[in-house]
Amino acid sequence: MTAGWDWRHEWFASLTWTGVACVATVAGCAVAVWLVTRYTRWGRQFRRLAFPYFDPLRSRGPLLMVVLMLGLTILTVRLSVLISYALNDVFTALGRLDAQAFWSSIALFAALAACYVAGSLTNYLLAQRFTIHWRTWLTDHMISDWLQGQAYHRSQFVTEPVDNPDQRIQEDVQQFAEQSYSLSMGSVDAALRLVSFTAVLWGLSGPVPVLGFQVPRAMVLLSYVYVLVASLIAFRVGRPLIRLEFLREGLSASFRYALIRLRDHSENIAFYGGERVERAALATRFTAVIANAWTIALRRLKLQGFNDSVTQLAQVFPYVIQAPRFFAGAITLGDVTQTADAFGQVHDSLSFFRNSYDSFAGYRAALDRLTALMDANHDARRLPSPTVADHPGALVIEGLRVWRPDHEPLIEGLTLTMNPGQALLVKGASGSGKTTLLRSMANLWPHAHGTIRRPTGGRTLFLSQQPYLPMGSLRTALAYPEPPQLIEDRAAREMLHKVQLGHLEFRIDEEAHWSRILSPGEQQRLGFARILLNRPHLVFLDEATSAVDEGLEHALYRLIRERLPGCMVVSVGHRSTLNAFHTHHLSLLGAGRWGMAPA
Ligand SMILES: Nc1ncnc2c1ncn2[C@@H]1O[C@H](COP(=O)(O)OP(=O)(O)OP(=O)(O)O)[C@@H](O)[C@H]1O
């Protein structure tokens, strides 16, 4: 066998082979991608997530990178074939006690092995660069999709809300990018090795008598039958892992979320001494995580037990088949070892698909979870909402209807106009729909219909009972939703004094968990400082002074009126002391009825 191996012309033959293999692989990959994205559900999910990244109109980099990695994979497969022939020469020389042939084969092997190592290291580096870049792009893409049209908030109202979007964006995106690479490139590598080493095995195999018949090229046939039967059984054993992996992600995320909630509400829980209830709730979630972990472990045990047995048996299989021909002098020792190597390669390549079943199960779960998030975002953006149009100088509401999810009316046909400097106070019994009216005006409530014209974008500010304080410095909290650098030191200090938070003036750039440090009343005062610094045209105040005493409430409203005389104010509040600061009163009377009166 090895006598015919012509090393002098091999570099030319290898180059030609690599070129042909490149063209065939790129074409084969294109057809495979077309087929899976057309005929399988997971293929269509992959297309949805991956095609925008590979769009050549966006950038040609990703496609070029894939071609480069394919080229390197092909080159390393070719080098593996050459190495197997070089090793055949080494063992044949040993068998013939030919020292000179032995050392020259070792030198050749060393050169080929060095090229192989260089090729596979370069491929590894490119793969890392490729997957990190893809992950970065997709994370950005998913975050944009989640934020667009306020889907992150409105998705709670869709028919099938998704759990833990945070985990989907952080973990599933990473898994998707890494496994898309490893599964696809692994398949290409396995397919190339399969073809190349089947050819090697073909040349080395001879007829074997089976049940009285001479089976030609028996080594090739037996290897294929062996691995294909094993793969079919493994698919059956491993199939439930897809659903179990899906559950695993969801259950761990919901356990983690319960822990985070406990941390976030630690003070309230500690006041109540609610540890027993919290512990029970955590235990329930964790028990579900562990039950699922055991089901996965037992299923994996079966799959791994089967895979290991198949792999062990495969170690001796080629020697057993080739031994009679070696003893008969039909083949050399080098041929026997090369058979074992080639069988190992064919076996590993075919087994790649069997062994990848586990990863593929996790991969499909990640695809399901990511596309479900995109669907929920899409549905959230399509939820009905009132028409909100821009009006630079007034708040005009026409025929606004607001109802609860159970179709109970909260407000029927509200029509009103407010001009600069005017202020509306909304009152009503608890649950009558005051906050929901503000949500509808902000376009955050899907169960509403009508037209609202108001200053949009940064010219409207909403302040709730507990104003949102973002992570970061006090300056960030003061400027929100504008960037912190827009607020000058002098202005920030002055406003802090105005809202009686002067003691914080030297901590403007201190990064801290401000929503935990500041008392509710201090947080509400900070909210008023934010209004004064942002200077909106319209401000919605939903019980924004509930935690301060009447005197301070008076001072805060007076500040707004003095500093922002043209600003329109819509307040929700219960105290009669608020009446003096509003030009109009709206009373929500229940069952959709309302009454409007000037102050
Ligand atoms: N996300 C929601 N899903 C279902 N029902 C809701 C939701 N949010 C509010 N509701 C219901 O809508 C009604 C109006 O709630 P809203 O918070 O607007 O009342 P409110 O007048 O502001 O009450 P309060 O004075 O107690 O703050 C209530 O019956 C409430 O249960």
The secondary structure of residue 568, as a DSSP letter, is E
> Is the same domain home to 300 and 362?
yes
Q: Assess if residue 3 is contained within a domain.
A: no
> Is the same domain home to 412 and 397?
yes
Residues lower than pLDDT 50 in the chain? 1-4
| Residue whose CA is at the smallest distance from ligand 1 atom 26 | 430
Domain of 566: which CATH number? 3.40.50.300
> Is the same domain home to 402 and 308?
no
pLDDT digits (tens, 9 = 90+) for 254-300: 899 899 889 888 877 887 888 888 999 999 999 999 999 999 999 99
> Is the same domain home to 396 and 378?
no
Domain of 68: which CATH number? 1.20.1560.10
Q: Is 268 close to ligand 1, i.e. is its CB under 6 Å away?
A: no
> Is the same domain home to 337 and 433?
no
For residue 123, the model assigns a pLDDT of 93
- The pairing of beta strand 387-390 with beta strand 448-454: parallel
- Residue 434 Cα to ligand 1 middle (Å): 8
Q: Assess if residue 2 is contained within a domain.
A: no
The SS3 call for residue 544 is coil
Pocket test for ligand 1, best of 402, 411, 434, 541 (most atoms within 8 A of CB): 434
State how many domains the chain has: 2
Which of 382, 410, 444 finishes a domain? 382
Q: Assess if residue 1 is contained within a domain.
A: no
Residue identified by tokens 């071609």 is 67
Q: Assess if residue 161 is contained within a domain.
A: yes
For residue 464, the model assigns a pLDDT of 86
> Is the same domain home to 371 and 491?
no
* Distances, alpha carbon 315 to alpha carbons 200, 310, 549, in Å: 18, 9, 82
Which of 351, 382, 413 finishes a domain? 382
181 close to 130: Cβ distance less than 8 angstroms:
yes
The secondary structure of residue 592, as a DSSP letter, is B
Question: What ipTM does this complex have?
Answer: 0.95
CA distance 369 to 381: 19
Which of 382, 412, 428 finishes a domain? 382
Q: Is 435 close to ligand 1, i.e. is its CB under 6 Å away?
A: yes
Element (H, E) at 585: strand 584-590
Q: Is 573 close to ligand 1, i.e. is its CB under 6 Å away?
A: no
Token digits of residue 153: 């908030």
Give the residue numbers spanning the domain of 574.
Answer: 387-598
> Is the same domain home to 470 and 593?
yes
Give the phi and the psi of residue 69 in degrees, each rounded to 5: -70, -35
> Is the same domain home to 373 and 391?
no
Q: Assess if residue 209 is contained within a domain.
A: yes
For residue 5, the model assigns a pLDDT of 59
> Is the same domain home to 360 and 423?
no
- List CB contacts of 307: < 8 A, sequence separation 6 or more: 234, 351, 354, 355
Q: In this structure, how many other beta carbons lie within 10 angstroms of the beta carbon of residue 413?
A: 12
